[in-house]
Structure 1
Amino acid sequence: MSGDTTPALIDCPALGIGELARRAGCKPETVRYYERIGLLRDAPRTEGGQRRYGEAAVRRLTFIRHARDFGFSVEAVRELLEMADHPQMPCHEVDAIAKHHLEEVESRLQRLSALREELRRMVGQCAGGRVESCRIIEVLSDHQLCIGESAHGGAQGLG
């Protein structure tokens, strides 16, 4: 074999979807989902219809999984991938996405901290008697008994 064919062999699409998923630390359903929403490129298929992936797909899927583990939204990951596909462009847009995400995380942490304090207060006020006189039930039933709106007003958006 000549040296010219070696680079082609490096990214030869030889991995099945199960092996790709295993190497990226996810499930085959996740791979299919990322393909369906366009984060992962459609894989070439064998004559029998099985997907085949190369090392580029492993790297891309690993990037996607890692970015999602950091809590980046699917749209943010899409933008980051687009920029990663153009390595010569300046990274100020990447920086802006990361800074925006950091601000969201810090805001979420503040809301979670306030929520924790409100829950501690509720639990601390519970006398352990009957449900009819349970402070937790009272507070959950009457928003006016909470310390403040900031304690849990945005709690639904934490997940």
Structure 2
Amino acid sequence: MVSLVKGFAGKPAHAPLTDVGIGAYTAGVAMLVAGAAGFQQAAMATASVITIAVGLIAAIPTIITGLVDLFGIPADAPARTLGWWHLTLMASATGMFAGTFRLQLAGYYNGKIVASALTLGVISWMLLLVGGYLGGALTFVYGVRVLKRPQAAMADALIPGRADHTD
């Protein structure tokens, strides 16, 4: 079960899950901004709530897999400290997106963009960008949950679990 949650080296579970949340939150905030600018406000007010809800639902497995990855980093490694910062920023952004969702619910029903939801959504999105940048550093600088094997055979790269056991 832990292997399923962690994913396989070179094919981690956390990284692709983050794309769902980041994409949903980005689309939701873009809809809030577009609606506030006068572009199909009623449709944007409704769709933003649904889209942000998708991001919040995706946050559940994303958080679980992220915690598993975090606790797999040695406690004394600089990557572990960066991981805690990543967790703090992403958890804060997720909580703020939950607030955005709650504030915009009124707009879901009346077809209006709620100014406080727009403001909180934009701030949440900026925090998400910083947290996502740190997550990218964990992957691309520290190689967390990624095997650096540029000479691996194609089959080893594509078959889950195979790269874990070949050299």
Provide the TM-score with structure 2 as the length reference. Answer: 0.31
Which structure is richer in relative contact order (CA contacts within 8 A, separation 6 or more)? 2
Q: Which has a greater percent of helix?
A: 2
Provide the TM-score with structure 1 as the length reference. Answer: 0.32
